[in-house]
Amino acid sequence: MNNLKFAIIGAGNMGSAIAEGLLKTGNIAASNIFITDMRAQALDRFKVNGCKTDSNNIKAAAFADIVIIAVKPYHVKTLLEEIKTELVTAKKIIVSIAAGVSIADIEQVVGKVPIFRTMPNTAISIQQSMTCIAEANTTKEQQSMVLEIFDQLGKTVIIPEDLINAATVLGSCGTAYALRFIRASMEGGIEIGFSADIAQTIVSQTMMGAANLILATGNHPEQEIDRVTTPQGITIAGLNEMEHQGFSSSVIKGIITSYNKVKK
């Protein structure tokens, strides 16, 4: 792991977040990360940190053991054509994060090399991603290695590729859904007396505590809700009003709407 070399192609939102997350693990040297982008200014902060940077993707692919594809989905095919020789001759491990680009799409260009199709979210920059991973043509050792990498960047789960679209919605779009809940709670908090910044702290920490309760205990959310809802109390009154207004139903409908769109 310490000696693994990474190429991150594309220093946009996700490529940068992954590079930051890898650097924060503390056990991957900056000099073992080669990050590329067409725009030099996107690379400046990584250059300062000691990462290798360049606009030349072939150089980066040649350098790395693991090539992380972090460009927009419509750039993936051209990029793979460009670095194909490096990937195929040295049997590099490809880790693609591109939404909607299937393992078959990748194999069509580079053949049956080891491929991990992953779906992280933006919290990868603070090592709190939920990363769903599907794979093809990989060995057990390669699977353990890639899991070990993403385990340091949050939580991981291996899933069959046909669930990747669902993972995109629940795990990646899910960040935005959770943040919208935080924003709505803040707006309520402001109406009942808090300044925006204090409301943001209270709501964010409460959300994190609630999520950690579930992760730490493995309890069903309703079990934890039962502990907060006194009969005839204030919590159940608020919760029931949210449900009368369609809270659970609107969340479920939103998730299904995103899923129907990602499937197209």
Q: How far is the CB of 22 from ligand NAP (least distance, A)?
A: 15
Please report whether residue 84 would count as binding ligand NAP according to CB under 6 A: no
Q: How far is the CB of 54 from ligand NAP (least distance, A)?
A: 10
Torsion of the alpha carbons at 175, 177, 183 and 189, rounded to the nearest 10: -110
Closest CA to 31 of 49, 61, 51, 4: 51
Please report whether residue 99 would count as binding ligand NAP according to CB under 6 A: yes
Inter-residue contact 66 to 95 (CB < 8 Å) = yes
Q: How far is the CB of 78 from ligand NAP (least distance, A)?
A: 7
Which residue stretch of 64-72, 141-149, 152-160, 236-244 sits at the interface with ligand NAP (rule: CB under 6 A)?
64-72
* One residue of 32, 53, 57, 125 binding ligand NAP per CB under 6 A: 57
* One residue of 5, 10, 33, 68 binding ligand NAP per CB under 6 A: 10
Which residue stretch of 12-20, 103-111, 136-144, 149-157 sits at the interface with ligand NAP (rule: CB under 6 A)?
12-20
Which residue stretch of 4-12, 22-30, 109-117, 158-166 sits at the interface with ligand NAP (rule: CB under 6 A)?
4-12
Please report whether residue 40 would count as binding ligand NAP according to CB under 6 A: no
* Cβ nearer to ligand NAP, comparing 154 with 189: 154
CA dist 199 and 201 (Å) reads 5
What is the secondary structure of 192-236 as a DSSP string? TT--HHHHHHHHHHHHHHHHHHHHHH---HHHHHHHH--TT-HHH
User: Which two tokens mark 22?
Assistant: 């890898």
* One residue of 53, 121, 165, 258 binding ligand NAP per CB under 6 A: 121
CA dist 197 and 156 (Å) reads 32
Residues 129-188 binding ligand NAP (CB under 6 A) are 172
| In the complex, residue closest to ligand NAP by CB | 12
Alpha helices in the chain, H assignment, sequence order? 13-24, 40-48, 57-63, 76-89, 103-110, 140-151, 164-167, 174-191, 196-217, 221-228, 234-244, 247-263
Handedness of CA 77, 72, 134, 65 (dihedral sign): positive
Please report whether residue 61 would count as binding ligand NAP according to CB under 6 A: no
CA 124 to chain centre: 6
* Cβ nearer to ligand NAP, comparing 80 with 186: 80
- Report which residue type is found at 199: A
- What residues line the site for ligand NAP (CB under 6 A)? 9-15, 36-39, 42, 57, 70-73, 75, 79, 97-99, 119-122, 172
